[in-house]
Amino acid sequence: MRNEAAVNRPAPADLLVKDAGHLVVATGPASDDGEEGGIEVPGGWVAVRDGTVCAVGGPADPVPDAARVVSAAGRLVTPGLVNTHHHIYQNLTRSFAPVVNGTLFTWLTGLYPVWARLDEEAAEVSAYVGLAELLLGGCTSSTDHLYVHPRPNLIDAEIRAARAIGFRFHPTRGSMTRGRRDGGLPPDSVVQPPDAVLEDSERLIRTYHDPSPGSMLRIALAPCSPFSVTEEVMRDTAALAETHDVRLHTHLAEDHDEDAYCLETYGCRPVEYFERVGWGSDRAWVAHCVYPNDDELARLAAWGTGVAHCPSSNMLIAHGTARVTRMRELGLPVGLGCDGSASTDAASLWLEARAALTLSRFVNGPGAGLTSRDVLDVATRGSARCLGRPELGTLRVGSPADLVVWHMDDVALAGAHTDPVEAWLRCGPARAHTTVVNGRVLVDGGELALPALPDMLAAHRRISRAWQHAAD
């Protein structure tokens, strides 16, 4: 005879996050394919098995047994935040004094010679430290745009770090081929011949790219910008991405200097150039996108090109910011990015989310900017769309188990009772209490559960000091 109670009891899970003060399962609004959005469950719980969300419930639902239980009592639980733009190696030159108040172009030209020292050890150590930093800010998957390749196998080194941590990683094979000799911005020592770029791009795809749902590692191709690669490399990279069905990434329309450069060099504006070289598609997502005019924005929307919005970087570079509310109205995928640690300095996606909120209010005026829930949507579902990962950025059953339990009982949140999502973003600074990637707890009780971190930090200090002393 069957035991009804046993039949109804959910199967045991690997991990259970229970008793959440407030659980955000999915941000809103509903998606284009009709998936319900705006699912929030006060008192909710999430169960994880084999790296996947296997059950979600409310306080009245039967809770599964689990090998490990995390109490989220009084805390906010959200999908893990997704980072759509970063240059992790730049954490070796954070707040680098000689260029701290420059324009984008003077900042780049001041730092390129320092970055020319990048080698495998520096790439691995900076990636390990950078990904650890992202975990503390509630980020569970990230891209990285590594476009300086003075030595070989630097992306392989970053991948070693991501795998050692268990981070969901989307490194992009960046490139620069137009050095000073050819009228470009970077010194010739950090640019590569086009054939070397394309061969290495193909090698990385063949060696590492995993297209399966729930993948922990995907490669994308990412010439640095219209002013640092040749037209031929832009075209050949787009063709290679098409052949291997991988995504494309670059900086676009970040600065007025870029408009002037493109008009003089290519005879057209950056977005026109982007289209001309075969990049106008939903395979591409671009960083910044500050200066498209109305017509160009409509074309980007028609293509389905995504935008990585990097508010802190925009404010520090001081050359405007993306029109995020308009982009969302037009249906462009808009995600959040922390950008390189040499321009943004801090790499917390929570901090970027808060900057996105305040900057949007400031730019759009009273009542017209993003809400806290809009920003959470940008940082989770919007970012996941940019990376071509619709299964990320939600906690629906079947999603990869990437989630964050946020502290809500800090001094800074005292008195915030009426809306946990507003409280999370308006109060703070917030750090993750628990960060789970693919079902594994990587931040535990506010501390990184990474045994190699002290050694990595020591190596990071040694390398970054050596770089900066050499630049004195």
Residues that bind Zn ion (CB under 5 A): 287, 339
* CA separation for the pair 98, 271 (Å, rounded): 32
**DSSP-derived 3-state class of residue 144:** strand
CB-nearer residue toward Zn ion: 20 or 287: 287
**327 in Cβ contact with 317 (< 8 Å):** no
CB-nearer residue toward Zn ion: 134 or 442: 134
CB of 145 to Zn ion, least distance (A): 6
CB-nearer residue toward Zn ion: 197 or 287: 287
* CA separation for the pair 169, 103 (Å, rounded): 30
Using alpha carbons only, how large is the chain's radius of gyration in Å? 22
CB-nearer residue toward Zn ion: 339 or 345: 339
**Mutual orientation of helices 154-165 and 120-136 as an angle, nearest 10°?**
40
* CA separation for the pair 184, 108 (Å, rounded): 12
Structure tokens at 282: 């939903």
CB of 343 to Zn ion, least distance (A): 7
CB of 188 to Zn ion, least distance (A): 21
Of the CA atoms within 13 Å of residue 151, those in its CB half-sphere come to 12
**348 in Cβ contact with 312 (< 8 Å):** no
CB of 148 to Zn ion, least distance (A): 12
CB-nearer residue toward Zn ion: 19 or 255: 255
CB-nearer residue toward Zn ion: 287 or 387: 287
* CA separation for the pair 384, 230 (Å, rounded): 29
Residue count of the chain: 472
CB of 173 to Zn ion, least distance (A): 15
CB of 67 to Zn ion, least distance (A): 40
CB-nearer residue toward Zn ion: 118 or 450: 118
Is the bond preceding residue 223 a cis peptide, omega within 30 degrees? no
Closest by Cα among 319, 259, 328 to 288:
319
Supply the DSSP symbol for 73: B
CB of 219 to Zn ion, least distance (A): 18
* CA separation for the pair 215, 211 (Å, rounded): 6
